[in-house]
Amino acid sequence: MTTHAAEQQQVLLDVQGSLGRITLNRPKALNSLTMEMVTSVLDALEEWRADDRVRTVLIEGAGDRGLCAGGDIRAMYDAVKAGEPEHTEEFWAAEYRMNAALSHYPKPVVGIMDGICMGGGVGISAHGSHRVVTERSKVGMPEVGIGFAPDVGGTYLLSRAPGQLGTHMALTGAPVSGADAIHCGLADHYVDSSELDELVNALTEGDASAVLDKYATTAPESGLRAAASWIDEVYAAESVEGILTELRSRDEPEAGEAAETIATKSPTSLKVTLRALRSAARLNSLEEVLDQEYRVSLACVHRGDFLEGVRATLVDKDRNPAWSPAQLEDVGEEHVAAFFRAPTNGDLGLSG
């Protein structure tokens, strides 16, 4: 394949030794996921499932900035504005099926979460069997900042993080370090970025677990773990308003910073996200959570702040979204409940 041809491929697929290598290849867009990319990954997973040559699957990102910044939300915005919201429905349906497929894949799936790994980047890596972070990793679910809510199984993962750390991550939308990601259950192995090329080369012939045991080192101390005592107390509140009151009453500077950050997010998204997290904690499987997230994602487009959030962030880039409602107290329980109802076109149905 010529260099030019490779640049045109949004996903590069290759079998090297016993390693099936999936490289997300939109580095200028920080490897943001498109429908073409999701379809390519699903097709490769299906093909390699029965391919005896492939013993391990690797998921990585092209370029030096990160694995993946999430879904191509600008493309979704454009589709909805063009009167074609079905494109967003089709994308999320395919993406969530990919997330579920990764979680149950019969062969080891190694996700290299180096650099930026946000939203859909978490979904394409953190449901695999071997999740690798580095000193450069920035892992997060920033959806509340664009009038959306954590998806791709994000509410499943965050609701199962120790204590209330996942709630803190979801409501602030702030990225965390590789060490924090391991402590929160989003990753497994800490590898220095300078060792990644050697690690990948070793995976072409070696057993995934043995290779990672060789290259992984002890992660630094997790900052979230050190802050867990006050985070667990604050985010146990039953409402977003209660959480903000608790944050503002604390002496820790980080608590005040978190309150300021949360106050800039979509009030609707904050309340929907908190309910989604609490509900996800009670659901029994990733598939059940993905079904719930599908309902919420579609509702964010049709009745939430998604379009306004993307406009302010990626279209006009004025960073001044006009959230509606603009205040938390104006987001009623019935409004939030509507985000969890079955969509007109039917549920995703992953859980049967």
What percent of the chain has pLDDT above 70?
Answer: 98
Residue 352 is predicted with a pLDDT of 83
DSSP 66-106: EEE--B-HHHHHHHHHTT-THHHHHHHHHHHHHHHHHHT-S
Rg (CA), the chain: 20
Amino acid (1-letter code) at residue 293: E
Predicted local distance difference test score (pLDDT) of residue 6: 56
> pLDDT tens-digit profile of 137-153?
999 999 999 999 999 99
Question: What does DSSP assign to residue 137?
Answer: -
Q: Is the pLDDT of residue 346 over 90?
A: no
* pLDDT at position 147: 98
Residues identified as active-site: 71, 120, 143, 151
Helix boundaries (H) for the chain: 3-8, 35-49, 73-81, 86-103, 120-123, 154-159, 165-172, 178-183, 196-203, 208-215, 223-234, 240-249, 253-262, 267-282, 286-302, 306-310, 333-337
201 within 8 A of 58, measured Cβ to Cβ: no
First to last CA, the chain: 41
The two structure tokens encoding residue 270: 């904050």
- Total residues found in the chain within this entry: 352
% of the chain beyond a pLDDT of 90? 96
The pLDDT assigned to 2 comes to 46
pLDDT at 344: 85
Q: What's the pLDDT tens digit per position in 224-269?
A: 999 999 999 999 999 999 999 999 999 999 999 999 999 999 999 9
Task: Walk me through the domains of the chain, giving residue ranges and CATH numbers.
Answer: 3-339 (3.90.226.10)
Q: Which pLDDT score is estimated for 5?
A: 55
Note the pLDDT tens digit of each residue in 27-71. 999 999 999 999 999 999 999 999 999 999 999 999 999 999 999
Biggest distance spanned by C-alpha atoms of the chain: 60
The candidate with the shortest Cα–Cα distance to 180, out of 149, 135, 142, is 135
Q: Quick check: 22 pLDDT over 70? A: yes
Say which residue the tokens 């409602």 belong to. 325
Among residues 143, 184, 190, the alpha carbon closest in space to that of 161 is found at 184
pTM of the model: 0.96
Residues 6 or more apart whose Cβ sits within 8 Å of residue 56: 18, 19, 20, 107, 108, 109, 110, 203, 207, 208
pLDDT digits (tens, 9 = 90+) for 188-197: 999 999 999 9
Q: Which helix (H) or strand (E) holds 132?
A: strand 130-133
Q: What is the pLDDT of residues 282-322, one digit of tens each?
A: 999 999 999 999 999 999 999 999 999 999 999 999 999 99
Other CB atoms within 10 A of residue 3 CB: 6
Q: What is the pLDDT of residue 1?
A: 47
pLDDT digits (tens, 9 = 90+) for 1-15: 445 455 689 999 999
Give tens-digit pLDDT for 110-123. 999 999 999 999 99
